[in-house]
Amino acid sequence: MPAMRAAAIKPVPTMLMVLLLFVTQACTDIFLPGLPQIARDFNSSIDVASLTISVYNVCQAAVVLFIGVVSDVRGRRPTILLCFGLHIGATIAIALCASMAVMIALRAVQALGSAAVYIVLRMVIKDTLDKPAQIHATGLLMIGLVLSPILAPLVGSWIVHWSNWRYCFWALCVLDLPLFIWAWVAIGETNLRRAELRASFSWASHARNYGAVLAEPYFRAMALLVGAAFAAFYAFISISSFMFIHQFGLRETTYGYVFMALALSYLAGNRLMSALNGRQLAPRRIIGLGLLVSVAGAVCVLMAPLLPSTMAVVAAIVLGTCLLRLATALIIPPAQVDVTDHFTQHGAHALGLLTCMQYGFAALGTMVVSNLWFAPSTNFLISTVLFVALSALGYLALTARRSH
């Protein structure tokens, strides 16, 4: 079967897939150094400006529930090209927009494109490659996910420093347009079972499968654990530019290097997770370690206001956030494995719903931290304690269920 599939379908260039994933994910981070500028330009408060992040996350959460199915019944090529085209159009329109409301609406369209690329590329890999090649290609694809949070905020910080936030989106357009042309030429239809899948598909059955997963207390506990851990980090993303640039007076370029430290922390956590997995440590043991790291990060953030100088406070917050980011690498991948193993009949639906809940919690973290009425650093402290506590509650629910 793999040999017949490879002969019938032309594989998509791996470099194209890596770059597509990079540029669509970069729109999450590249404009963050300019978020205070955006709020000032549109005369908006922190909570309104942060909707550019939370609405994006909510739409991503919704799209991951159905976009894979759409590509099953309508085809991979039209799905990814249409969604990426809409993503590019939204990016151009954001660079030109004249109001915060319009920008927020366009961010929702951007999320459609980035979520579609994220999901459908994995399905293209599954369609065109045998299992060992799939693992290799997926590993290469992760390069785009790893490089984006390192390079995008760093590049964005320099763009904002020397010009303004709109040029962050123009920079994305410069990358997006040639990639769209390449994708149009290089991506053929890889789903040869489209007619069969369309004939057997039912939206009602699709919804019932999600309902069956959500009905399990195990899944709700795992979703709370994973979602709250992700929310603790995303609260930082949404408030960080106001906290570091406005409250603590850091330059935009210095702020960009904070995200490099966060990305390197995630890489370190990923390597640690792989090493522990290689030693046959159970997924839930790795998740428990990740939770302890989250607690350590929350302690660092809690201690920050007690320190004597601004730079010491900044260092403690950065260290705490790096630990929160490292913890997500220890929590999320093992949780995904545990969930798919638990739901033997509905593993794909369980993983899709867990991803949806993860991004939904990210939006919740953004809204909580930006709607508190204290200084940005205090808002972040409160949200960190809240979401780490919720994550611990999810873990306790898991362990209590297991003991019964």
CATH code for the domain of 326: 1.20.1250.20
Ramachandran sector of residue 75 (left: φ over 0; alpha: ψ -120 to 50; beta: rest): left
**Whether pLDDT at 5 is above 50:** no
49, 179: one domain: yes
178, 310: one domain: no
Q: Domain ends where: 175, 195, 215? A: 195
Supply the pLDDT for residue 294. Answer: 96
Supply the pLDDT for residue 2. Answer: 44
Q: Is residue 139 part of a domain?
A: yes
Number of compact structural domains in the chain: 2
191, 220: one domain: no
Supply the pLDDT for residue 3. Answer: 44
Q: Is residue 223 part of a domain?
A: yes
**Whether pLDDT at 304 is above 50:** yes
- The domain in which residue 26 lies consists of 6-195
378, 333: one domain: yes
Three-state SS at 12 = coil
274, 166: one domain: no
Three-state SS at 154 = helix
Mean pLDDT of 47-63: 91
Q: Domain ends where: 159, 175, 195? A: 195
Q: Is residue 1 part of a domain?
A: no
Mean pLDDT of 205-220: 91
Mean pLDDT of 299-314: 95
Q: Is residue 382 part of a domain?
A: yes
Q: Domain ends where: 171, 195, 219? A: 195
353, 372: one domain: yes
- DSSP letter for each residue of 202-268: -HHHHHHHHHHHHT-HHHHHHHHHHHHHHHHHHHHHHHHHIIIIIIS---HHHHHHHHHHHHHHHHH
Supply the pLDDT for residue 142. Answer: 67
189, 211: one domain: no
Q: For residue range 144-178, list pLDDT tens digits in order.
A: 777 787 788 889 999 999 999 999 999 999 999 99
In this prediction the pTM is: 0.85
174, 155: one domain: yes
Supply the pLDDT for residue 6. Answer: 45
Task: Out of 285-289, 334-338, 390-394, pick the least confident.
Answer: 334-338
